[in-house]
Amino acid sequence: MPNIPTATPVTSFDDFSKNTQDIKRHRVLFYALEEVLYGLFISAIGATLGFAGRITGYPALIFFIMDLAFLFLFYRAIEQKEIHQARSWFWALCGTLGYSLAPLLLLVHIASGPTVILGIVAMTALIVGAVSTAALAYLKTNDMSWTQFLPFISSSLLGLIVLGFLVPFAGNVPAAVLTYSLISAVTFSGILFLDILKCVYFDSICGDDKSSQRLAGLRSAVGIYLDIINIFKDLLTAWFILSNKENRQDIDLSQMFQTLLGLVIPVCFLTYLCFT
């Protein structure tokens, strides 16, 4: 009598163990997203303070130096495995970047109102969720190697920095800013995709050491946070250009371009430093 193959149970102990291991494998990602949420909350406080003061400009060079200092101190604390110090410097970076977003938020508020800002926040959250889901789905059928994308990402970030300096000299500046913002949003969505892969890569290095997972999660959180800030800033800028064109708002565009340039270049450069 021929052997009749028995059906494999849909749910077995091996399947349960595999699912448990999948959850553990993504623990660094969960820690990173937890730190990002705290960072975004602090950025919201910083932006609220700047928005309440109705600042229309800020000393970009001073803030850029502060951001570089906070980032340097953050990575030094990471290398020394001082997680509490590293988290403090990360929060300081989030606060200054949130405050520096206030002029752009004020311009969008004047042009379109607060509802649009909330809508852009929701749109940014949808993009982040979609990219994260796509990255995790990619890992199911591909390896977690991301180093092959480093040259492309590094050159893209440097290109955005150089292009940011050239935008004010374009013939049609609003169209150039709109194009730049859309390209930047797509670029940073791709970088966010790779940052998610990096989290899973760190999982394979850390093993089951919870302290190492926490440290790797905090280190990964900076890159993910900067990606989200860049995407949010790009969507804000694109909406402002479109709404200003449709409603023909009488807003000082030179002031907006100065604000944009002072925000785009530092954030892109900080992202470049984190990724490389």
Q: Whole-structure pTM over 0.85, yes or no?
A: no
Q: Amino acid identity, residue 152?
A: F
φ/ψ of 71, rounded to 5, equals -65, -40
Coil/strand/helix, residue 125:
helix
Single out the residue of 107, 126, 157 nearest to residue 264, CA to CA: 157
Q: Which residue has the tokens 């935008």?
A: 167
- Burial (CB count within 10 angstroms: exposed 0-12, middle 13-18, buried 19+), residue 70: buried
The Cα-based distances of 107 to 47, 113, 114, 123 in angstroms read 13, 9, 11, 19
DSSP 56: S
Q: What is the pLDDT along the chain (276 residues), one digit of tens a residue?
A: 444 444 444 333 343 334 334 444 678 888 999 999 999 999 999 888 887 776 655 566 677 788 888 988 998 998 888 999 999 999 999 998 888 888 788 878 877 778 888 999 999 999 999 998 888 888 777 666 666 777 777 777 777 777 777 776 766 767 777 888 888 888 889 889 888 888 877 777 777 778 888 888 899 899 999 999 989 988 988 888 877 765 555 455 555 555 555 555 566 666 666 655
**Cβ–Cβ contacts within 10 Å for residue 211, how many?**
10
4 token code pair: 């009749």
Distance from C-alpha of 215 to C-alpha of 206, rounded to nearest angstrom: 9
Q: Quick one: tokens of 118? A: 């909330």
